[in-house]
Structure formats: C-alpha cells, structure tokens
Amino acid sequence: EHLIPYISLREQFHPTHEAMETEKIIVINRNNVRYAIIADKIIGEFQAVVKPLGGYFEQQRFLSGAGVYGDGSVVLLLDTERLKELITTSKQ
C-alpha cells in the first residue's frame, strides 16, 4: 500500500548492460525504514563470518566486508546502509 524507494544495482553499477528478462526485488526494513534493492538474481541465504576488507578495498564505498563460504570461496558484501543513502539522496 506504500511506495518504497529503490535502487537498481544494474543501473547504478553497469548502466550499459542490457536488462535481464526478470529481476528480483529485495525489500529491506531497518528501523522502520523500508527500501528496496533490485538485482539480477538472488543466489541464496547463507550464514558466514564477516571479515573487514583490507587496504585494497578501502575506496570501495558500497562494500562492507567479505564472507567465506563453507567451501572456502570468498564473497563480497554490499553495504546496504550506503545504498540507502544513495537512494535517499538521488530520489530527492
């Protein structure tokens, strides 16, 4: 019943790439503030230990850390608070 501000990861980070036929919407509700992130796909939900990023990634505004899956592969984690800031400043 309410409009939710959103950000498309494709439009923000790869605006020249052609859109997928279907996209996924992730609605985040933090401290009674709702916003959405639109992604190409959702891989799944995992529990992981979050590690801070080293010096090579200091300048990456939208990464909050890294996680290690059970098989040893590393995944970078988006900073959803920074994405929310981007949403609220660009939609005003």
Paired tokens of 63: 């990464």
Identify which has the larger pLDDT, 58 or 60: 60
Q: Please give the single-letter amino acid code of residue 26.
A: I
Q: Which of 7-11, 16-20, 66-70 has the lowest mean pLDDT?
A: 16-20
What is the helix, strand, coil percentage profile of the chain, to 5? 20, 35, 45
Give the per-residue pLDDT at 36: 92
Residue with tokens 């010096």: 55
31 pLDDT exceeds 60?
yes
pLDDT at residue 91 tops 70: no
How far, in Å, CA of 75 to CA of 69, rounded?
Answer: 8
78 strand-pairing partners: 63
| pLDDT of res. 24 | 92
pLDDT of 61 strictly over 80:
yes
Q: Is the pLDDT of residue 26 over 80?
A: yes
Query: What is the predicted pLDDT for the residue at 50?
Result: 80
Q: Say if strands 74-78 and 33-39 run parallel, antiparallel, or are unpaired.
A: unpaired
Give percent above pLDDT 90 in the chain: 11
Residue 84 near residue 33, CB atoms below 8 Å: yes
Lateral strand order in the sheet of 24-30? 6-8, 33-39, 24-30
